[in-house]
Structure 1
C-alpha cells in the first residue's frame, strides 16, 4: 500500500482532531510544557502505557517516549514534557493504528506527528510528510504470524523500528511443551536477521516483555517438560494460546509461593516456576531483571537504537519495601552498564 501525500495530510488532520481536540489550547499550567521535546537522548527507552496513573511512578530518569494506549491524560503530557519525555497518543483508523505526539503551539496546534502503523498483510511502502515515523516489527523478518513484509523498504521509510521481541511461541512447530516467551538466542537471531537484510542497527529498538505466560499442563514430567493442549495458529500445531499472559507484578507475588521457586533455564536464559491448582500442574515462563539485563546487553552488542517494553503498567508500584526493590530492578535492567 502506498501512502500519498494527500492521504497523509488527511490523516494528520483526523489524528489532530481525535487525539487532541480542536482549539482546546495548552492543557499545562506552564505553557512552555506544550512546546516540542527537542532533547536528544543517547538511546531510546520507549514505554507503552495502557492507562491509569502508574506513570507517576515510572523511572523518569530513563524514559524517553511514552506511547499512551489509555484515554488521553493531559496530566501525563505535562508531567512527561517537564521531564523532557515525548508522549505518543493512539488513534485507531483504517487498517492500522496511528499514534500522534501531542504538544501545542498557539491555540490547539501540533507541529510534530509520530505514526506507528501495522498493516494487515503484504509489502508496504510508507511515504510520510511528518517529523518522525516508526513501525512495529515482529521479532523476526521470517514471515512470523504471516507478516511477510518488505522490511528493508519499511526501514528505509522510517526513522526507527520497534521490534516486538516477545510472544515468540505464537507458532510452535517442534513440540507442544511450554517455553519461554522471549528466549535469549531467539531474540538475538531476530535482530541479526534484520541487520543481515541491510537494515541499519541504529534504527532498531529492542522490545522486551514485562509479562510471562502461565501454561496449564495436560501432562507434567519435570521442569521444562510441561505438555500443552494443542491449539494451532497459522499452520503451526501448537501456540502460546494454550496459556494466559501474566504481568510481572503478579509473578513477583507468586513465584516464592510456588512448588519449585524460581528456576533458571540456562539454555533459554529465562526463569520459570511450577505450581499446582485443582490437581493440575502449571508452568510459568517469564522475564525478570536477570533475563532482561541479558537481553538488553544486545543493544551494545549490535549497536541498537534503544529498548522498550510492553508495558509499563505490568509492574507493582506499591510502597512495600520488597516490591519496591523488584520494580527498581526491572527498570534498572533496561539500561546495562
Structure 2
C-alpha cells in the first residue's frame, strides 16, 4: 500500500459504518469503541501510555475519547450509521435533522405492535384486494409534507417515559401521541414482489394480558381477524424507496399505508442507504458523498487487529482513514 502522510494526531472527525441487520446501534458503537480507545490515531499518546500502565475496568476505561452515533437504526435495520469521534461528536446533531434515504420491504395483511417483523401480531386483515396499481395510487397521499403518529413501541418520550413503557406496562397514555410534521421528498414503489418472496407474518401473538395492556395504553386495538385468516395464500410484498426529512418514521409510513389500502402492513426489511453526505453507494464525483466501512472490518479486528503496515497502521485503521472526515479545533471540516 502507498505511504500516507498523517495529519496531526489524535484525530477528531466522522465516518460511517455499514451496520448489519441484527445488532443494536449502541452495541455496534460499543464494539467500535473498544478499538478506537486503543488507537494512536484517536487517543493522545500520554493517555494511551497511562491506560497501558494502569488498566481500568468499567465505564472509566472507555472515557479516553468520546464516541457517539448520529441517529439510531433499529436492530432490524441495516445501512448507514454515522459515527463521531472526539470533537466529531459535536457534529452528530447535524445528522438527526438531515435528509435520509431508505429502502424497505413491506409485507401486507399483518400489523404488529412495533410496525415491523420484530414485533408481535396485533391484527391481521384482508390483503388480496391490494394491487400494485392500488399501492401506487395511495403513495401520492404520502408525499410532500405529511403528519404521522410515531409508533407506541418507540423510544420517543412522553412526560419523561419512553412510549414503549406505557404499552408494555399497560399504563394509559397521559394524552394522545402527538402527530409530527415530516417531509417525504420522494416515495416510489420499486419492486412489486406479490407472493414471490420468503417473508412470513410473525408467529408470536399477543397474550390476553399483553393485549389488555396495549388496549389500556392506546384505549383501542382494532380487530379484523376472521376474514383475513381465510386467505391462506402467501400475502403480497413490495419494496419502497424514499427520501425523507429527519424525524420521519419509515415504520409509520408503512403502517399508515396499510390502513389506507384497507389492509394492514409492516416492515420486514429496512436499509438506510444514505444519511446526509454518507452513503452505501456514494457518488463522490457528483455530490461529494463518502462511503461506509464494512462491519466485517471491525469484527475481524476485534478478533485480531493484525500487524501494522509500513505507516504503523492496522488494517481497520487504514480503512477508517480512507473514509474519515476530519473535524478541526474549530469544528470545521478540514
TM-score norm. by structure 2 comes to 0.26
The one of the two structures with greater contact order (alpha-carbon pairs below 8 A, sep at least 6) is 2
TM-score norm. by structure 1 comes to 0.26
